[in-house]
Structure 1
């Protein structure tokens, strides 16, 4: 991989939007009420980076008493909570500013539905930054950890996968990035570095470090 990349592909929850903890708390309360007590750290281990259908199947297998339309109901609970307010990940606005100044395009690729990103990206003021470049697992045949969504975004941008960088905070998402043949960075502010290290090409803990990792020309000018 030669830096800077020609396209940067961000996951959404936990990478652009500080929504993971709120979502995990909703899931935890919901499952507790349905007979499955799951500590928050287990919610992160088993569910982050997947789909709500995957949460449903895993929770059901572990003994939760879930109704047939649970996925629809949990999404409503999550949406109602997120609509009350979410914040951007610290440092991400500066990252996007530097990518814009360096003329490096970017997009968001999420396992969440478009309706969720409409709430979160709008609520934290980032939607306009990604207008026309917001991709959901609803747009492709198979969600992460399959590479479909990342290959889809690269194809639309006209950029070869080998010239793309993926920013992920979950093993599922990182697996998708690597399967797409893209250089994959693991963001470890919340996720255990030990879980991402075997998958990712490089790890980082502070979003403000990203422009230097990507070798954004504007960042290099700023430090010289």
Structure 2
């Protein structure tokens, strides 16, 4: 039995990736870089905004020095307008509660962003004190430090990670943790190749955890 579930936030708890990536596509087009949604997901999902900036520049975008703050402001505005939970998340958390299994968030995102997305869905109070952010710890996935720090905080012996990105799965494997890879938009072959156990619906997770 696992004694801790570590969730990524964007794309796992909240259905924010489509919204955020569309904002980035629209923004980068103004700076000379035209991308499709598929391009954006392939280049940027699971990374940091600094990484997005550097990748976009390498692809030809002429970005100003304050671009990361600009894009965060634009993304926050869209997320505040409405960011749904991923389907089945509320039921999954209730199932974990019923079985006495603690859970937390480990994300490359800013706490401010998670307050917006989780807060409007009534989950900020559940996660605010067990939130491990790359912006706070100063190290991001695919480095395993976020997951190792979360596990140490709880004294977990058998943690499991729920992720949707290559960088997140890589971090989990590097931390020697079991990783469930949530593939909502494709067949999950990329996540599987990195070592994740792929699933496509949150209702599958209790069975995967043996609950």
Class of the TM-score when normalised by the shorter of the 2 chains = over 0.9
Q: Which of 35, 39, 44 lines up with 1:38 in the alignment?
A: 35
Q: Which runs of 5+ in 1 are unaligned?
A: 217-224
1:105 aligns with 2:102: yes
8 Å contact 2:23–2:75 — kept in the other structure? yes
Number of residues paired by the alignment? Answer: 211
Query: Stretches of 4+ moved more than 6 A in 1?
Result: none
Please show how residues 61-210 of structure 1 align to structure 2 within 5 Å. 61-160=58-157, 163-210=158-205
With normalisation by structure 1, the TM-score equals 0.92
8 Å contact 1:85–1:124 — kept in the other structure? no
Residues 120-165 of structure 1 show CA distances to partners (whole Å, capped at 9, x for unaligned) of 11012221222411111023232001001101111111113xx110
Residues 90-132 of structure 1 show CA distances to partners (whole Å, capped at 9, x for unaligned) of 0000000000000000001110011100101101222122241
Aligned residue in 1 for 2:22:
25
Residues 159-192 of structure 1 show CA distances to partners (whole Å, capped at 9, x for unaligned) of 13xx110000000111011111100110001255
8 Å contact 2:109–2:133 — kept in the other structure? yes
SS at match of 1:144: coil
Q: Which runs of 5+ in 2 are unaligned?
A: none
CA RMSD of aligned residues (A): 1.0
State the 1:68 CA deviation. Answer: 0.5
